Structure 1
């Protein structure tokens, strides 16, 4: 991979992460700068899941109606969604915004529709308490609206799983820095990883040596 390619990847990831992080403008006042990540990180995860599932939304809804009386339904729903997760809620980000008066109840219904593996992820974010704070500060609707704009789109047709991971890492870095922490304590940035790989494989003949094993002491 050339240095230009590495540079372009880094720029694209940072640009998308910046766009997402700028949603924090909606949070000024009710949330302190070091708390922005408490909203931005889980919302990024939820929006990624939402955008992944939208193409099979109708299939999942139809399948759920057909199998909801059965004792075990996960297999049917993951097959319908095309992923190892799904959402059976009738709500989407579009329909949530269409009913601002009931945004909290509808958003909670939307989140409750996710499969159990996604529920575990949301529980680790302590997202329930964050939603309460957004409702009290009248920012829940605004945040959902911002994430539903074209700039907040995180679908796999535009952003690969790898790039989405890099974007999330960049957001974690910004969150850490807002705490005044060292970002390096949480992850190694992409440019450093590329440089380390180039140094390690500098004298390797990849064409004839085949697989290369490298010991990572971390």
Structure 2
């Protein structure tokens, strides 16, 4: 996927805010809806192909009276996360009554596995549902994110039944992470009071990674490494460090893996970081620092 296609997706998502949220939210609060909805739609798109398998597994687990169902359900989904509700996001677009849409959307959110629940809680996304329902925009937001004009799925969308002509290319994890980071950057620029507080320019981050790794490049071995950031913000330094280490190891013919660990005190920034890591499917553990 080239930069034009990336920019097209970012612009489409950015336009959802202007189309649906204007006059309901002040501009600085658009991110409270757009960022979590972007995460939700990406996860939803990745789970579409295994939805029936997850629901079948859930029935089997309930019949066997298994309490901790999440490991088996995530395994059935083929991901580090899953959704055990009976819905896909696109199923909710047919709801005509606000009350029905609200109840089904909440049930849909409640169906996500605990790692996604933590992200939604830190975003405080459920606090936005009543505002959107009262303003009658929840359905419009869901319609926009499930539109055929945008593809946040890893699988391409085809124009023909034979699947020979691609309408919209698939979006891999790295590409989704890039789009998510661009949305974060734009929102931070919109909110001047936050500009630079949780975002470090990518060229600065890459320079820091170079300064950390190049002096010890000749010491890289076939091994598993850990990388820790005690104030990880949105996680950019961790992922850039991972990419740089893997590049240097490959150059030297070494086989390495890297585990990322980060702490962040700001709840929303922590949610952004964990969501970005989950979207990229990194081996990462993020914790929220409690200040002690």
- 1:209 and 1:45 mapped to 2: Cα distance? 34
Relative to structure 1, the CA distance from residue 178 to residue 81 in structure 2 (aligned partners, 3 Å threshold; closer, same or farther) is same
Select 1:75's aligned residue among 71, 78, 84.
71
- 2:73 and 2:171 mapped to 1: Cα distance? 24
The structure with the greater share of residues assigned to helix is: 1
Select 1:84's aligned residue among 74, 80, 87.
80
Alignment of 1:1-16 (within 5 A): 9-16=2-9
| Residue number in structure 1 paired with 2:252 | 210
The answer to whether the aligner puts 1:118 opposite 2:116 as a matched pair is yes
CA contact (8 A) 2:24 2:135 kept: yes
- 2:197 and 2:46 mapped to 1: Cα distance? 30
Q: Which runs of 5+ in 2 are unaligned?
A: 156-169, 218-247, 255-292
| Residue number in structure 1 paired with 2:33 | 39
Give the secondary-structure state (helix, strand or coil) at the position aligned to 1:100.
coil
| Residue number in structure 2 paired with 1:99 | 95
| Residue number in structure 2 paired with 1:17 | 10
Distance apart, 1:195 and its partner CA: 8.1
- 2:178 and 2:9 mapped to 1: Cα distance? 10
Relative to structure 1, the CA distance from residue 115 to residue 80 in structure 2 (aligned partners, 3 Å threshold; closer, same or farther) is same
Give the secondary-structure state (helix, strand or coil) at the position aligned to 1:85.
coil
| Residue number in structure 1 paired with 2:53 | 59
Give the secondary-structure state (helix, strand or coil) at the position aligned to 2:30.
helix
Q: Which runs of 5+ in 1 are unaligned?
A: 1-7, 213-218
Distance apart, 1:152 and its partner CA: 3.4
| Residue number in structure 2 paired with 1:48 | 42
The TM-score, its normalising length taken from structure 2, stands at: 0.62
Instruction: Report which structure shows greater RCO (CA 8 Å, sep ≥6).
Output: 1
The TM-score, its normalising length taken from structure 1, stands at: 0.82
